[in-house]
A and B are shown apart, each in its own frame.
Chain A
């Protein structure tokens, strides 16, 4: 990780082998770079989710290629696709089964607001049933947009006060 300014680069010969930082920064850094998604791939956005995990767009560079379908092992639920009223209790149940800390990315127009399906069967936005951290627009959003949302989520997580939450809970 080299920068133009050599004074910022960490050099163990000069500074020693102990890095002093804030607990929040360390915890958030670890959480950010291994954000394992729980792919709630429901419809067409799931195909773009798969494309972002494939070789060209490679979500693995962000540490998020471990797409575990088990909610216990996942950090971030990516709701990709239209949530219908029949599916909504299932999404909520799986969200409840995830262990904290957990975040939700609403991918695509249908997950954010119901999209173009204003009908009797479509939940008008997954935020009616789970709390959402990042919304991605697009129908479907390009894989670059999903990666941008992942980066935005990482920015959000970077600013969280994780240690006080851990100690208070």
Chain B
């Protein structure tokens, strides 16, 4: 049964359709409760069929008032709140905050403390990228990747628990030092973890890197140009995927990063696949840093001994000696005494650059604390990036940006 229908005809006829018969755009709200939005993000779409014509992210569903809380807490009391910023790599946030406040007092911590901070931060980086990878896998349909990644994260959780007492949300760093020294044998266990992790990482990456379905979903999707990445303030693997090789651990080393040799992976095209490859390679470089840090692990003090008004003295001295008792009382009730001034410190966290801008008028409580969150800036490119993609590509883009709403909304 022949019908006179052919595609060229249909296209020509479609072009002649009068304006009032053109399909309307649909308004769709994705989130805030959605499996692929990585937390409570809501995106208000305007869709033409499946194609996105406008995307307006609505954030703030996890805004808990951290900056206002910081104005009412002492510096040490605020450490648990920093855990819950990027709650996938809490040890990295703890370290960034502690170093920012120590810059206020121009306090240098001893090399052992710096080495422990580097080790915990790099373990947090591995943990965060594993989570990003697992969540990305599950968004594009790969369940096994999620399971493998989470098993490796459980091993990391066990190490964190032995060190700090909590699986995550560790609250490990204090101003001027740490909560406690590493337990005996812990460093050897981290070493053992690194040794067994690299083959498993290759296995996990092997599930996705040459996977045709994954490549179809990520190559050429969500391309961020170099100029855009810089203009929108993108940082971390999102920036490096677009070809800008900025890594604060190399450019402005802090906490002893200058002693370790590592490479910084930089992408070529800036699409989702490049960002995925950057994260995979960053995990390998983190293991490289960990091995070096463990090999060079110094002895000595794990807190700044001479910072009497900032770091509480050891408990046996507090209970027996008058001056230490007074210092401990002041530090606990009024907070570590910081000089007046302003300081801005940024650290290279797994998600990007986490910055703390602290304005102090002296005393133990800051006047203003601004938290420059990487996920906030990474998400700001979304209105520009989603336009012209299909809705399922948006899921792929969100997974590749690897943001976390606790940090974005604070």
Contacts and interface: CB of A to CB of B under 8 A. Distances in A.
A122 B151 contact: no
Interface in A107-126: 116-117, 119-122
Interface in A40-55: 40-44, 46-48, 50-51, 54-55
Contact of A40 (B33, B65, B81): B33
B69 A117 contact: yes
Nearest to B151: A55
B156 to A, nearest CB: 11
Interface in A80-129: 81-82, 84, 86-87, 90, 94, 116-117, 119-122
A9 B151 CA distance: 37
B189 interface: no
Interface in B148-193: 150-151, 153-154, 157, 167-169
Interface size of B as a range: 20 to 34
Interface stretch (B56-64, B268-276, B277-285, B373-381): B56-64
* Interface residue SS majority, chain B: loop
Nearest to B155: A56
Contact of B32 (A48, A55, A90, A120): A90
B84 A119 contact: no
B35 A44 contact: no
Interface residues of A, number: 30
B60 A86 contact: yes
Nearest to B69: A119
A117 B80 CA distance: 11
B65 A43 contact: no
A148 to B, nearest CB: 16
A142 interface: yes
Given A69-B33, A69-B34, A87-B32, A47 B154 contact: no
Interface of A: 40-44, 46-48, 50-51, 54-56, 69, 81-82, 84, 86-87, 90, 94, 116-117, 119-122, 139-140, 142
25 contacts: A41-B39, A42-B62, A43-B39, A43-B62, A43-B84, A43-B406, A44-B83, A47-B168, A51-B150, A51-B157, A56-B150, A56-B151, A56-B154, A69-B33, A69-B34, A84-B60, A84-B62, A84-B63, A84-B64, A86-B61, A86-B63, A94-B33, A117-B69, A119-B64, A120-B65
